[in-house]
Structure 1
Amino acid sequence: MRLFQNSGIASSYRPRLADLVAGISGFEQQKDVFLKDRYGAAHILLPVLDRSPETFFTNGDDESLQRAWARENGLGEDTPLADILLAQIEHHKADVFYNLDPFRYDASFVRRLPGHVKRRIAWRAAPGRIDFSGYDLVVCNFPSMLRLWEEQGAKTAHFFPAHDPELDTMAANRNRDIDVLFFGGYSRHHQRRRHILEAVAGLSSRRRVVFHLDLSRFTPLAETPLGWFGPLNAVRRPRTIRSVSAPPVFGRAMYTELGRAKVVVNASIDMAGPDRGNMRCFETMGAGALLVSDAGNYPAPMRDGETMVLYNQPEDVSKTIERRLDDGGWDRIGWAGNRAIREEYSKKRQFERFLELV
């Protein structure tokens, strides 16, 4: 099976990636730097990580990476990124196209795929209206999202992120200097998260609390006198949150922080449904930290009080964290979480499931 996997990168990650590939012009060399940094590794299939010659991986929205391939393969400098991606698929003679970015590359792109592509699969685990009509299958690990895609006419199947074994080195460290860690977005879509983080930040007088926040582009203005009135209030951080805030981290820098943390807080965004088990849960448990997350429907290995801990209301979260820090539960449950995620969601099992879907 000749597999082609396309992914994408968040705008906030681009500066880090640009620094990592500075001075590197070749496509394969740039791609290798990206894969070694482990950004989004939970979703990258095993043969890609193993550099199997029958697989091809790229980030279709990474202009530096895609232009490198275009130069090496005789395409003009003004070739659209979608055309470069199509040329890569043709060049690889792919049987299967697995796309993690169907919002950018929807049915209109898929209809242009060459005839040798026999299977077209998309991953999507966030709400929104996308034309999936060109795809054979849409997959994710949230039942409510699968129902939404089915209502829009797509055929769906359950699929899941996987444990990155690179996190096991982080899990082995039990001498951790950060009591409570959070990293994630902070925007107008995160008002519930804001209340949760404000409660957690209240622990900072007696615990080491660190929030790596990926801020809205309007937050800097919102936190000046000009932003004290009007709609910008939704993206302004309370003083307690600002006092524990640090720049966002990604890739191996994020892994390092996970390896320093006793507790990692997860807080779903306002548009999320009842399903839980986002990539942050997999990464936290994989790194052996205690996952403290909001109540909802989790996959079986994520069990309250055994492999992670749940809270119901924002006002509950600080008491829940302190109790587990005081009684050593963070260590015991964190270790159990690492074992559960390693065993149930290995890269091998993920790819076996993918082959079933193909």
Structure 2
Amino acid sequence: MRLFQNSGLYPSYLARLNTLAPNTLDFEGRRRVFMEDRFGALHFLQPILDGDPDAFFTNGDDQVLQRRWATENGIRAGVTLEDILLAQIEHHRTEVFYNLDPMRYPSAFCRKLPGSVRKKICWRAAPSGQVDLTAYDVVLGNFPSILEAWRSKGCQTALFFPAVDPVMDEFGHGDRPIDVLFAGGYSRHHSTRATILERVASLSGAMQVMFCLDASRLTQIAEGPLGRFLPLRKHRRPSAIAQIAKPPIFGRQLYELIGQSKIVLNGAIDMAGRDRGNMRCFEAMGCGALLLSDAGNYPEGMDEGETMLAYDNGEHCLDQIREALADWGKAKKIADNGRRRIGDLYSKERQWVLFKAILAGL
């Protein structure tokens, strides 16, 4: 099977990648640095991580990476990123195209794929407006309610999951000086999460609480020295959060901080009803921290009180944190159980077996 996997970058991650991978690197050098940093690795299939010669990976929205490939392969300057991606797929003689960035490359892109491509698969686990994915043979995701929405739009769907990155075994085997870690986005529009974060931030005087937040450009301006003179009040974070907020973290840097944390706080953003199990759940448990997340319907292996903890509201969240830290020996056993359980159920080997089974059923 000639597998091609395409992914994409968060704008806030790009600065880190550009620091790690200077513009002087060739395509393979920049891609290698990216892969070694592990950003998004829970979604990368086993042949990609293993360096299988029949498997090809790229980030189709990485201007530097893609234009390096175009230059190295004699493609004229000025072509679009879409044209470069199509050229890569043709050059690779791809049979199975697996796209993690279907919002950028929806059905219209699929219809341009070369004839070698036999199966077109994408991952989409978030609401997507009116985007058309019906040209894909199957849409994968781990939230049943969102998959149902895709089915209602005429797409074939299948339940699929992130997998624990084998590199996570390197982290979380020493001291954990951080009591509570939250890493992710903050927005007042996600009112439930915002309320929880503000309540937990209030604990920072009594314990080690770390928030690594992806702030919008307007938030950065609003909280800067000139912000108080501009009409940007709604973009400022509550003072309890702003005082402890640090820049966002990704990849190995995220693994390292999770490995230094006792509790990793998580909260859904009201996009999938009661369905739960976003990436942070797998990352937290995979690096051996105690996952504390909002109550809901979690996938197999994420069991409240056995492999993780859940909270119903802000006060309950604070109670769970205090109780876990007061009896860390008991809480650590739950975290250890979670790491073992998730490592078994969501290994890269099992993810690849499931992917091939889905492919065989198309």
Instruction: Report the TM-score range of the alignment, normalised by the length of the smaller protein.
Output: over 0.9
What is aligned with 1:348? 349
Quote the residue 2:218 is aligned against: 218
Where 2:217 maps in the other structure, the secondary structure is coil
Q: Which residue of 2 aligns with 1:274?
A: 274
Long gaps (5+) in structure 1:
none
Give the Cα–Cα distance (whole angstroms) in 1 for the partners of residues 9 and 139 of structure 2. Answer: 20
What amino acid sits opposite 1:324 in the alignment?
A: A
Match of 2:338 in 1: 337
Match of 1:167 in 2: 168
Aligned amino acid, residue 47 of structure 1: P
Deviation, 1:251, is 1.0
CA–CA distance in 2 between the matches of 1:24 and 1:341?
A: 39
Query: After alignment, is 9-18 or 163-172 more displaced?
Result: 163-172
Residue of structure 1 equivalent to 2:13: 13
Give the CA deviation at 1:23: 4.6
What corresponds to 2:237 in structure 1?
A: 237
Given residue 260 of structure 1, which amino acid in structure 2 is its aligned partner?
Answer: Q
Alpha-carbon distance in 2 for matches of 1:264, 1:25: 35
What per-residue deviation string (whole Å, max 9, x for no partner) do you get for residues 150-171 of structure 1? Answer: 1111110111100011111213
Distance 1:41 1:134 in 2: 26
- Residue ranges of structure 2 left out of the alignment (5+ in a row): none
Instruction: Find the counterpart in structure 2 of residue 190 from structure 1.
Output: 190
In the alignment, the residues of structure 2 paired with residue 126 and residue 179 of structure 1 have an alpha-carbon distance, to the nearest angstrom, of 30
Q: CA deviation at 1:233?
A: 4.2
Name the aligned partner's letter for residue 215 of structure 1: A
The two structures have a TM-score, normalised by structure 1, of 0.96
Contact 1:189–1:271 under 8 Å retained in 2: no
Q: Which whole-Å CA distance do the structure 1 matches of 2:228 and 2:95 have between them?
A: 57
Identity across the alignment (%): 53
What's the offset of the Cα at 1:139?
0.5
3-state DSSP of counterpart to 1:218 = helix
Distance in 2, matches of 1:341 and 1:234, equals 39
Cα distance in 2, alignment partners of residues 24 and 101 from structure 1: 26
SS in 2 for 1:212: strand
Q: Distance in 2 between matches of 1:237 and 1:131?
A: 35
In the alignment, the residues of structure 2 paired with residue 39 and residue 268 of structure 1 have an alpha-carbon distance, to the nearest angstrom, of: 20
Residues 93-125 of structure 1: per-residue CA shift (max 9 Å, x gap): 011000000000001100000111000001000
Aligned partner of 1:131 in structure 2 is 132
* Amino acid across the alignment from 1:90: E
Q: What secondary structure sits across from 2:221 in the alignment?
A: helix
Letter in 2 for 1:136: D
Give, in whole Å, the separation in 1 of the partners of 2:354 and 2:291: 26
User: Residue type matched to 1:314 in 2?
Assistant: G
SS in 2 for 1:166: helix
Equivalence for 1:36: 36
User: Following TM superposition, by how much is the alpha carbon of 1:331 offset from its aligned partner in structure 2, in angstroms?
Assistant: 1.4
Separation (CA, whole Å) in 1 of partners of 2:80 and 2:23? 23
CA RMSD in angstroms comes to 1.2
**How many equivalent pairs are there?**
354
